[in-house]
Amino acid sequence: MDCSEAQALMHGYLDKELDVMRAIEVEEHLQACRACQEAYHAHDTVRSAIREQATYFAAPEYLQGRILSALPVATKRKAIPRTLSLTWLNFGAALALVSIVTLSVSLYLAGPPQDEHLTEEIISSHVRSLMADHLADVASSDQHTVKPWFNGKVNFSPPVNDLTEQGFPLVGGRLDYIDNRPVAALVYRRRQHLVNFFIWPASHDQDSPAKILSRQGYNLIHWDHAGLVFWAISDLNPTELRELVSIIGRANGG
Amino acid sequence: MLFKYSRRTHAFILGNKTIRWTVIHILRRTGKSSPEEAKARRFAEVALPHLDAAYNLARWIVRNPQDAEDMVQDAYLRAFKSLDGFCGEDGRAWLLTIVRNTCYTWLHQQRGQALDTSFDEEAHSLDGHGSVTALDQSDSNPQAIMLREADRRWIHRALERLPLEFREILVLREIEDLSYKEIAAIANIPLGTVMSRLARGRKLLLECVRRMNEES
């Protein structure tokens, strides 16, 4: 390495920015060349002098508030918490309340889809039943054990069928709580898949045909029959779930 | 009671209907919030910690407090608008790039004030081609000029007078303590240029300091 190369690279060496091979080369040259060594020390003193002598201009305290208040959103609440006057806070609170009421009323009028809400509750109940080791309050594949169990627990009698022969053995039944009311939940199994059936009295007597939904990887089928609401949910594929639903439908004269 | 609040589902219940898109989330400061609030929060996290760095760079580039404040405010506004394009690697480098660009745009707009007015009358002897030639000569000659103790107090003023292209690199390197890679990204120059500008800048600074001390 000659002097001009060393002079060019010594700054990278000074700043510890050279790769190991280069750094060794520069080091060797510096040890051998007195002039370059002096230059190196000179630059080193400049370097440390800047670090000691040159001012670090910290931002004035008010600058952050100025910046935030100029942004095209209201972040003032966080930015200048202590200087916000009470009047403005009150005004803001009043405004927020008015917006909430307006929003609520408009959402109410717009009517969030009731089914959507129900679907979410069904999914939650299904997931909870799998998670919390609380699949069945009455674990039995005997329909004559499961059906009477619901007596006195719900004000209706859910149709319970043992479908072992059809490939859907009954796992059991439990009490669940959906749409602000206690409901009957029946559990069937197909291979490793569990199917939850939620049943509760409908608010009307009209039957409605089965609707099929798919949410979060679960398949759901719901229908109304004979004054009862039925919801089936499972990670089972839609075809087999439909098969189970039609078997139950036939068993109950639907 | 018009509203009932369901603790279980975190929703308001009005009559038989449930209002799902929960207003409560907007009210909850710790919970999820509107996209605008989320953006403001992300901005505060990404950009605000580097306010001093931003101001320091702007202050060294434009060299007076009022303009530096304006530059920083302008830069933060730009940063906020382009926040969506920032993928979150290095907030400081991202912000400083914007600060630098803002300053450069402003300096360009200042008619009659060319970019390299960095040297005023006191130091004009270092300005222009003369000094560069002289430096090129000294480049090939390792003969070093040592910084004496008496010269040190001139360092700040000398740095202020250094041409912008060297000054900003020295500020980022020595005062902000950034790596070559970060500096290269901010100043949009190759790594090698960072090193050569540091070399030239240190040399210029040394000469300037000595001259100032002799003249005083």
Residues of B with Cβ-Cβ distance to A55 under 8 angstroms: 156
| Nearest CB partner across the interface for B175, out of A17, A50, A60 | A50
In a domain, A20, yes or no: yes
Mark yes or no for CB contact B77/A3 under 8 Å.
no
Query: How far is A99 from A101, CA to CA, in rounded Å?
Result: 5
Residues from chain B that touch A66, judged by Cβ atoms under 8 A, are 69, 73
pLDDT band at B59 (very low <50, low <70, confident <90, very high): very high
Which residues in chain A belong to E strands, given as ranges?
Answer: 138-139, 170-178, 181-190, 193-201, 208-215, 218-225, 228-234
Whether residues B54 and B130 fall in one domain: no
Does A73 reach chain B within 8 Å, measured CB to CB?
yes
In a domain, A118, yes or no: yes
Assess whether A19 and A128 both reside in one domain: no
> What pLDDT is stored for residue A1 in this prediction?
81
Q: Identify whether B114 is part of a domain.
A: no
Q: In CATH, what number is assigned to the domain containing residue B96?
A: 1.10.1740.10
Q: Above 0.90 for ipTM, yes or no?
A: no
Mean pLDDT of B59-64: 94
Q: For residue B145, what is the domain's CATH number? A: 1.10.10.10
pLDDT at B55: 95
Task: Tell me if chain B has a CB within 8 Å of the CB of A154.
Answer: no
Q: Spell B160-177 as b/e; 16+ CB within 10 A means b.
A: bbbbbbbbbbbbbbbbbe
pLDDT at B124 over 50: no
Q: Nearest CA of chain A to the CA of B91: how many Å?
A: 17
Distances (CA, A) of A205 to A202, A225, B32: 7, 8, 41
The answer to whether the CB atoms of B199 and A8 lie below 8 A apart is yes
Q: B39-49 pLDDT, tens per residue?
A: 888 888 888 88
Give the pLDDT of residue B100.
96
Report the pLDDT averaged over residues B73-99.
89
Asked if residues A168 and A188 have their Cβ atoms less than 8 Å apart, the reply is yes
The residue range of the domain holding A226 is 114-251
Residue A118 has pLDDT above 80, yes or no: yes
Query: Residue B51 and residue A117: Cβ atoms within 8 Å?
Result: no
- Write the residue in B14, B55, B60 that is nearest to A58 by C-beta: B55
Establish if A171 belongs to a structural domain. Answer: yes
Name chain B contacts of A23, Cβ cutoff 8 Å: none
pLDDT of the residue at A95: 84
Q: Which domain holds residue B176?
A: 121-215
Q: Chain B: give the shortest CA distance to residue A3, in Å.
A: 7
**What pLDDT does residue B139 have?**
45
Check whether residue B125 and residue B210 sit in a common domain.
Answer: yes
Q: Which of B109, B133, B152 is the last residue of a domain?
A: B109
Of the candidates A15, A9, A12, the one whose C-alpha atom is nearest the C-alpha of residue A51 is A15
How close does chain B come to A233, measured CA to CA in Å? 20
Instruction: Give the end of a domain, one of B86, B109, B132.
Output: B109
Are A111 and B15 in contact by the 8 Å Cβ rule? The answer is: no
DSSP line for B129-145: HHHHHHHHHHHH-----
Residues of B in contact with A116 (CB under 8 A): 20
How many domains does chain A contain in total? 2
CB A234 within 8 A of CB A219: yes
Digit-coded pLDDT (tens) for B134-184: 444 444 444 456 667 767 778 899 999 999 999 999 999 999 999 999 999
The whole-number pLDDT of residue A110 equals 63
Residues B194 and B135 both lie in one domain? yes
For residue B135, tell me if it sits in a domain.
Answer: yes
For residue A200, is it within any domain? yes
CA distances from A22 to A12, A15, A17, B178, B181 (A): 9, 13, 10, 21, 17
CA angle (B51, B55, B56) in 5-degree steps: 115
Are B80 and B14 part of one and the same domain? Answer: no
| Domain containing residue A215: CATH number | 3.30.200.100
- Specify if A67 maps to a domain: no
Nearest chain A residue to B34 by CA distance is A73
Q: Are residues A13 and A122 in the same domain?
A: no
Out of A10, A45, A104, the one facing B19 most closely (by C-beta) is A104
Considering the domain boundaries, does residue B164 fall inside one?
A: yes
For A124-133, write each residue's pLDDT tens digit: 888 888 876 6
Is A84's pLDDT higher than 70? no
SS (H, E, C) A29-49: HHHHCHHHHHHHHHHHHHHHH
Same structural domain, A47 and A128: no
Higher-pLDDT residue of A138 and B15 is: A138
Q: Which residue has the tokens 């279980």?
A: B8
Rounded to an integer, the average pLDDT of B175-203 is: 93
CB–CB of B180 and A36 under 8 A? no
Residue B156 lies in a domain: yes
From B156's Cα to the closest Cα of chain A, the distance in A is: 5
Residue of B nearest to A108 (CA): B19
**A contact residues 103-132, partner B, Cβ 8 Å cutoff:** 103-104, 107-108, 111-112, 114, 116-117, 120
How near does any CA of chain A get to the CA of B204, in Å?
10
Instruction: Provide the CA A188 distance to its chain's centre, in angstroms.
Output: 29
Task: Evaluate whether residue A49 is within a structural domain.
Answer: yes
The beta strands (E) that lie in B4-112 are given as 4-6, 11-14, 17-19
How near does any CA of chain A get to the CA of B112, in Å? 27
Contacts of A60 in chain B (CB under 8 A): 55, 65, 69
Q: Does A143 share its domain with A241? A: yes
Among the listed residues B21, B73, B55, the one whose alpha carbon sits nearest the alpha carbon of residue A110? B21
Nearest Cβ partner for A15 among B3, B146, B180: B180
pLDDT confidence of residue B6? 53
Confidence of residue B113 (pLDDT cuts 50, 70, 90): low
B144 contacts A35? CB cut-off 8 A: yes
Which one of A3, A7, A10, A11 would you mutate to disrupt binding with B, by most B Cβ within 10 Å of its Cβ?
Answer: A11
Q: Is residue A80 part of a domain?
A: no
Q: Which residue of A has its CA nearest to B60?
A: A57
Inter-residue contact A13 to B199 (CB < 8 Å):
no
Q: Does residue B99 sit within a domain?
A: yes
Are B78 and B43 found together in one domain?
Answer: yes
Closest alpha carbon to A231 in A120, A145, A153, A140:
A120
Instruction: Check whether residue B142 and residue B210 sit in a common domain.
Output: yes
A66 lies in some domain: no
Contact between chains at A71 and B43 (C-beta distance less than 8 A): yes
Q: Classify residue B9 as left (phi > 0), alpha (psi -120 to 50) or beta.
A: alpha
Contact B54, B80 (CB under 8 A): no
Is the separation of the CB atoms in B119 and B163 below 8 Å? yes
Shared domain for B159 and B188, answered yes or no, is: yes
Q: Residue B115: inside a domain, yes or no? A: no
Q: B116 lies in a domain? A: no
Question: Shortest CB distance from B77 goes to which of A40, A42, A70?
Answer: A70
Cβ of B59 within 8 Å of Cβ of A50? The answer is no
Task: Say yes or no: A35 and A125 in one domain.
Answer: no
Question: B27 with B50, same domain?
Answer: no
Q: Are residues A140 and A29 in the same domain?
A: no
Record the tokens describing residue B111, joined without a space.
Answer: 């008619």
Looking at the fold, whether B14 and B97 belong to one and the same domain comes out as no
Measure CB to CB from residue B23 to each of A46, A100, A117 and give the nearest one.
A100
Give me the total of CB pairs closer than 8 Å, taking one residue from chain A and one from chain B.
165
Q: Which residues contact A183 (CB under 8 A, 6 or more apart)?
A: A154, A175, A176, A177, A198, A199, A200
- Record the tokens describing residue A110, joined without a space: 């717009």
